[in-house]
Structure 1
Amino acid sequence: MSFQAYLDAVETKTGLTPRELLTAARERGFDESTKAGPILAWLKEDYDLGRGHGMAMVHVITKGDVISDKHVGSGGTPADASNRLWLDGKATNPST
């Protein structure tokens, strides 16, 4: 599953775009310095997200919307089309 596919699934599961979840995380005080554990606990408690989907959001919350180029077009898992993740909702993603 591509990184973007994880974020799209997060949106399906929560009803919120990744950007909306990022905003909620910032409101809770989560930022680049926050460890994964507290973020995962929050996502599990409030949105019932499992570890895989939660870790995709941990990346966005702590590292932003850029992923490593090694995953772009690699044909492996994940194999994203771009090193930039779309955070504004799967319905508005111009690459789909």
Structure 2
Amino acid sequence: MSFQAYLDTIHKKTGLTPADLRGLAEEQGWTEGGVLTPSTKSGTIVAWFKEHHDLGHGHSMAVFALLKGAKKEGDA
């Protein structure tokens, strides 16, 4: 599955776009100025998305990768 496919599925399931995910991360205090804070761990994001949006581990990790900057929209 491509990274973009993960983002597409996340959007279908939650209604959240990558921009929405970045905004949510700021609201949750996971990022500051669009940069992941050093104290934010992947487990925090995974647990939150599992609880609040019923996402699985892989899709939640895709959100983390997006926020970390390791992946971006359109990546294979």
Instruction: State the TM-score bracket (shorter-chain normalisation).
Output: 0.7 to 0.9
Take 2:22 and 2:51, find their aligned partners in 1: how far apart are those partners? 16
Give the drift of 1:22: 1.6
Q: What are the residue-to-residue correspondences of 1:17-36 with 2, within 5 Å?
A: 17-31=17-31, 32=36, 33=38, 34-36=40-42
Name the SS for the 1:7 alignment partner. helix
What residue is the counterpart of 2:52 in the other structure? 46
Task: Point out where structure 2 has 5 or more consecutive residues left out of the alignment.
Answer: none
TM-score by length of 2: 0.79
Report the AA paired with residue 2 of structure 2. S
Structure with bigger strand share is 2
Report the AA paired with residue 85 of structure 1. E
Structure with bigger helix share is 2
What residue is the counterpart of 2:8 in the other structure? 8
Q: Which segments of structure 1 move beyond 6 Å, counting only runs of 4 or more?
A: none
Task: Point out where structure 1 has 5 or more consecutive residues left out of the alignment.
Answer: 68-83, 87-96
Is the contact made by 1:10 and 1:18 (CA closer than 8 Å) also made in structure 2?
Answer: no
The alignment-based identity, stated in percent, is: 49
- Rg larger in 1 or in 2? 1
Report the AA paired with residue 11 of structure 1. H
How much is the aligned-residue C-alpha RMSD, in angstroms?
1.4
Take 2:17 and 2:5, find their aligned partners in 1: how far apart are those partners? 13
Aligned residue pairs total 68
TM-score by length of 1: 0.64
Is the contact made by 2:18 and 2:73 (CA closer than 8 Å) also made in structure 1?
Answer: no
What residue is the counterpart of 1:77 in the other structure? none
